[in-house]
Structure 1
C-alpha cells in the first residue's frame, strides 16, 4: 500500500539530483575523474570493494607514484561519503586534485561489501561481528591492498567516526601496523560514547539495554541496509516538496548536532539515497554498551562467549596509550553530539601520548556530518590535511 501511494504521488515530485540514482563509481565518472574498483578478501572471508581515484580530473596521469591517501567512512556509511558534494567540496575529489592517489574503503556489510567466500547476507552468521573484527580484519586488508596495487610502503590515513575508532583500535593492538601509516587524520574521532547527546542518547537511555538483550538472545542481523523501498520513501518524501526536504534535514540533524551552517539542505535526498548503507546489529548493541558503561570495551557477548573468546567474564578494555610512532591529527567540534568534547577528554586526550598528537583542531559550528558533507569542509579540514600530508612526506 505504501509503495502504491508513493507511485500515485510520483508525478508531483520535483526532480532530484542525478547522484541520487548513481553508485560511487558512476558519480566519480560523471564528474570526469578516473576511477577504479578493487576487491580484497579479509582473513575471515569477507570480500570488500574499494574505490580508487588514481589522479585528479585535470592532472596528467604520469608515471611517478603519487602519495596515497586512504579515506575510511563511518558507521552506516560508505565510500560515497567522500564524493557526496561538488568536486571542490568533496574530500575524494579535493585530495585527487591536490596530487594524491585516493583510495576509499568500504567496511563489511555495507552497500559495496556484501560478499563472503562461503556466507551470504541472508544468513545470520554473515552478520555476526562488531567493530572489533572490522579493526582486526578490514582495516589491514584494505590498506594492504592499496599499498600492494600502488607499489608503496605507507600511506596517509583519514578516518571519520567509526573509521577512527577502528584505526585507533588496530594501532593499539598491533603497534607494528604503524609502519604503514605516514599520518593519521581523525575526523569527528570516536573512542567512547558515554556522553553522546541528542536522539542517540535518548534511545540508549530508554531502549539500549532491551536492544542489547534482544541481539544477545536472537543473534546478529543486518541493520539499516540500503533498500529499494527506503530509497523510494526518501525520493517521494524528502525529494517531494521543499517543506518535506527541510523536515528530513531537521530530523537528520537531531541525531548528529543541530548546527546547520554550511549544510546544503537540497542535497539531503542524495545523502539519504546512499546512507544508511548497512551494517551489523552487533555494532549497535556494542555502541549501546559503550554508552552504558563508558570506556573502550570490546564487544560484550555474555559470560559464556566472553570466556570462550576473551578468556574472562567481562570484555577487555582497549588502551589507546599503546599507540606509538604515528603522527596523529584530531579534528573535532564541540557542536558534535556523537564525538563529544567530554568523551574526547576522558579517552583520546587522556590516553594518546602528547608526542604523537601533532595537531588538535577544534572546528567551530561542525556537527558530526559536517566533516564529510559540510560545504566548507574542504576549507576547514581537507586543505589542512593536504598541508599535513605534504609536511609528513617532506620529513
Structure 2
C-alpha cells in the first residue's frame, strides 16, 4: 500500500511548474534579500538605540496624530481581554516546571457549555517568538444569545460558525464544545516568572528547545490530563510548536497514546530548503555561541517597545505597507491571503521573547538535522556521555495519530523539508493537507482570511473521529 495516498490538496489554479518559477524568482533576487536583510537588521538596531533614549509614549503619540491613523478595537489587547470581548470566559492555570519556570496556560471557557470536560481537551501550541494570542486573534467576533460564534470579515459580513468553520481556531473549537487550552512556553509575556531568577540573570536564559520539550511541554500535558481526568488530549501546533511535539515523541513513547491526534500546522523540522530571508541570521551564530546566554536580539522590554511602535505604525493606512513589507521580507505576508487591516492587532502580540540558545538550534536546523543543544565537547560528555549532541530521530516515533497540514508556498517550511518528515516517520499519517493557494505562507495557518474554509474545517472533521 502506498503511503500518504489520501492527501487532500487545495489547488487554486496552480500547475506543477509554479514551484519551479518560485525557486527561480527566489534565486534571481537572492542577493537583494541578503542586502535588504542586513540593512534591515542594522536599521532596527539603530532605531532601537535611538528610541530607547526617548519614551515609547512620545513616539506613539506622534504616530496617533498622523493622518490615516485608525485604532482597531483589538489593538493592544492581551489574550484574556480578547477572550472576554468575544463573550467567552477564561481560566489561568500555572504549572511550575522542574527547573523553576512558571508556565501559564489559558483555558477558554464557553459559558454555554454546562460540562466543560464533556469533550477531550485540546492543547493549542504556538510557534517561536509567539504566544497563545495567535489562536484567538484572526478575526473579530462574538457569541450570540444562542451560543453560536459569529465572526466578521473585513467587509463586516457575518459568518456563523455552526454553518461554516470560522477562522479563529480557539473560539471555533470552544463554540463547538471542545475544552480548549492555550499554551505559552517559558519566558514569554505569559510565562515570564521563575522561582529563582529574573530576566536580568544569565541563568534565566540558559534554556534551549530541549528544555521546552522536556519540561514545559510535558508539564502542560500532564497537568491538563490530571486536571480534566482524561487519559488523552488532542494537540494542534503551529511551526515550532510542532517541532516540540515531534522531538518529545522521538525520545519517549510515554506520550504517544496521551496525544491523539497530533495536528501539525506548517510542520517545522529541518530547514534545508529555507526560502525566507530570515535564514541569513545564521551569520550571527558564532556571535551567539561566544556571548553569554541572553534573549534573542532584544530584551523583553525592548520587544515590548518594538511591538508598541510597529503596531502603531501599522495602524496608519498610509504606513501599514512598511510593516507588511518587513514581515513579507522576513517570513512572508501576502495581503491577498492575510488581512492587512488586522496587522496592528497581530503585531501588538508579536514578536515575543526567545533565548539565544533556542535561536542557535533554529540555525543548526538549516544543516538538515535536528539535534539537542551542543554545549561543546567537554560539556557534551558530562551531559550526554558523548562528544557530540544526540539527534532527535523521527524514525523512533511510534504514533499513528499524526496529521500534517502544509503549503506549497511556505517560505519557512518548504515541501522538501515536510517530505523529509514524512519519509522518516514509521507510520502512515492519520490525515494530510497540502494547500496550493498562491501566497499561502507560514503565518497563513493562523491568520489567513480563508483559514476556516481551507484548514479549520479539516481540523474539526479529524477531531470528530476521536470524540
TM-score normalised by length of structure 2: 0.78
CA apart distance, 1:63: 6.6
1:216–1:302 contact (8 Å) kept in structure 2: no
Residue of structure 1 equivalent to 2:423? 350
Q: Distance in 2 between matches of 1:314 and 1:64?
A: 45
Q: Deviations over 1:324-356 (max 9, x none)?
A: 13411100011101111111222x11111243x
Partner of residue 10 from structure 1, selected from 64, 67, 89: 64
1:52 has 2:107 as partner: yes
Partner SS for 1:157: strand
Residue of structure 2 equivalent to 1:81? 134
Partner SS for 1:50: strand
Partner SS for 1:296: coil
Partner of residue 360 from structure 2, selected from 280, 285, 290: 285
CA apart distance, 1:85: 1.8
Partner SS for 1:70: strand
CA apart distance, 1:125: 0.8
1:175–1:323 contact (8 Å) kept in structure 2: yes
Q: CA RMSD in A?
A: 1.8
1:298–1:315 contact (8 Å) kept in structure 2: yes
Q: Distance in 1 between matches of 2:383 and 2:204?
A: 18
Q: Which has the larger radius of gyration?
A: 2
Residue of structure 2 equivalent to 1:294? 368
CA apart distance, 1:143: 1.2
1:65–1:150 contact (8 Å) kept in structure 2: no
Q: In structure 2, do the counterparts of structure 1 residues 45 and 9 end up closer, same or farther at CA, with 3 Å as the change threshold?
A: closer
1:95–1:382 contact (8 Å) kept in structure 2: no
Q: In structure 2, do the counterparts of structure 1 residues 63 and 70 end up closer, same or farther at CA, with 3 Å as the change threshold?
A: closer
1:238–1:269 contact (8 Å) kept in structure 2: yes
Q: Distance in 2 between matches of 1:134 and 1:63?
A: 28
Residue of structure 2 equivalent to 1:196? 274
1:290–1:296 contact (8 Å) kept in structure 2: yes
1:125 has 2:180 as partner: no
Q: Distance in 2 between matches of 1:272 and 1:295?
A: 31
Residue of structure 1 equivalent to 2:188? 110
1:375 has 2:375 as partner: no
1:39 has 2:94 as partner: yes
| Structure 1 segment 319-338 matched on structure 2, within 5 A | 319-338=393-412
Partner SS for 1:120: coil
Residue of structure 1 equivalent to 2:261? 183
CA apart distance, 1:264: 0.5
Q: Answer with 380-389 or 160-169: which moved more.
A: 380-389
Residue of structure 2 equivalent to 1:261? 336
CA apart distance, 1:358: 1.4
Q: In structure 2, do the counterparts of structure 1 residues 64 and 130 end up closer, same or farther at CA, with 3 Å as the change threshold?
A: closer
Structure 1 stretches lacking a partner, 5+ long: none
Q: Deviations over 1:163-212 (max 9, x none)?
A: 000000101101121121121100000111122112122333xx1xxx22
1:334–1:340 contact (8 Å) kept in structure 2: yes
Structure 2 stretches lacking a partner, 5+ long: 1-49, 142-165
Q: State the number of aligned residues.
A: 382
Residue of structure 1 equivalent to 2:384? 310
Partner SS for 2:89: coil
Q: Distance in 2 between matches of 1:69 and 1:311?
A: 37
TM-score normalised by length of structure 1: 0.92
1:73–1:159 contact (8 Å) kept in structure 2: yes
1:231 has 2:285 as partner: no
Partner SS for 1:186: strand
Q: Distance in 1 between matches of 2:364 and 2:369?
A: 10
